[in-house]
Amino acid sequence: MKTLSINSKLINLVFFSILLISNGCSSNSGDFYSNDRTGIIDGNKESPTTNYPTPKNTKPPQVLKSTPSVEPSPISTKDIEVLFSGVLVFSNSVKGEVNQDLYKIEFECGHLNTSLCKTEIVQITDTKGVEWRGVISPDGLIIAYLYSHDPFSRSDIGLYNLQKESNEYEYFVQDIRDIAWNPKSNSLIYTKESSSGSKIIIWDITSNHSEQIQTNSIWNEKPIWSPDGEVIAYFASDIGDYIKKIRIFTINDGVEKEVLQHTIANSVNRISWSNDSKKIVFTGIINGNHDIYILNIETNELTKITESSAFDTSPQWSPIDNVIVFSSNRNGDYDLFIYDIELGETIQINENIGQDIFPQWTKDGKYIFFINRSGDNSILKVLDLGKRKEYYLTANSFNVFSFDAQISE
């Protein structure tokens, strides 16, 4: 087992902190748009205003040409035997600028002697703020995203209609920190912050109805739906309580249950559900070691599945198998690994120059999207797990911070 020196650990801690900042930030935010965009609180229910103001400094969608890092021959539809295709949304920061904008990619990848996909990249927002954390609705028609003045401000919610290619709804619920879709419906879950705490709210965008779920903690964060859409897992804490808890909330009966109260919950940045909605996986820190744990939410049994002096981060459960993908720097740079639960084995599945981070499965479990960060460049790639072949989706002209992707059915 490789042992890191103290200086090496400090260097990795700095890099890991950067990953956490790029994956989620919050603090106070002023008012950039008109003041009437906030929701109306009525008891435990909140209804976002239906008067959606027009955002300032927004331009029509702009089609961009992606310049790959290696110049290939032009790719046309007739040159490619399509293996998989889909749509992806990502946030991009122009070098030397603080603001981030959202971009949409429509892509086709196939059998060519190249690692490039046929892509069309469209810029869908253009403001002086930060638009990021875009997530695609289960029906593939809406992109929900966060907007803030800068990376350290609280955010508002924006919605982009992919069919109409317009910001039909724009910036109307403020002081938002987290956002996620229900995998079975067009309902969003988000946390809304104030000086007295944070609450979890479910919003059905079809009916425009919002409702706060009843929790027993003052601070609640990072809620995420189970694959069956029946349970929500989140972190909870109270004022003066320095140990976070992981709790679950069952939608049908409105019952909250605490499944973990442990110091490792303080460090968890990302939760992923098993495909049967019975377990969650996350990275926890004990004595400075970043390892991956599985928690059975029915029995509260906690199992450590990695153990090294390296940083094992961003675990994501395969939607079809008992396999977990994660990013680790156990061999130097961050590369991607998978852990087979039945075999109890860890296998490295790629190796690149730079850092391969934030892996995300496709619904069929065949492909893994991720960010490759090298120097000042952060590009999007996708790995064909069966063939161990990687494809480029963006080039070095982009600096990707967050993304979400869907493969066409």
DSSP per-residue codes, 4-66: --HHHHHHHHHHHHHHHHHH---------S-GGGS-EEETTEEE--S--PPPTT----EEE--
Model confidence pLDDT, tens digit, residues 75-110 = 454 566 788 888 888 888 765 567 788 888 888 887
User: What pLDDT is recorded for position 168?
Assistant: 53
The answer to whether residue 225 scores a pLDDT higher than 50 is yes
Cα–Cα distance for residue pair 26/150, rounded to 1 Å: 10
User: What pLDDT is recorded for position 80?
Assistant: 66
Model confidence pLDDT, tens digit, residues 275-288 = 999 999 988 877 77
Cα–Cα distance for residue pair 289/292, rounded to 1 Å: 10
pLDDT confidence bin for 124, thresholds 50/70/90 = confident
The answer to whether residue 27 scores a pLDDT higher than 70 is no
Among 221, 141, 220, 248, which Cα is nearest to 185's? 141
Q: What is the mean pLDDT of the chain?
A: 75
Q: What is the average pLDDT across 104-125?
A: 81
DSSP 139: T
pLDDT confidence bin for 368, thresholds 50/70/90 = very high
pLDDT confidence bin for 360, thresholds 50/70/90 = very high
User: What pLDDT is recorded for position 95?
Assistant: 57
The answer to whether residue 5 scores a pLDDT higher than 60 is no
Model confidence pLDDT, tens digit, residues 147-199 = 877 666 667 888 888 887 666 545 556 677 788 999 988 899 988 887 778 88
User: What pLDDT is recorded for position 166?
Assistant: 64
The answer to whether residue 14 scores a pLDDT higher than 80 is no
Three-state DSSP class for residue 336? strand
User: What pLDDT is recorded for position 112?
Assistant: 64
User: What pLDDT is recorded for position 82?
Assistant: 80
8 A C-beta contact, residue 83 and residue 250: no
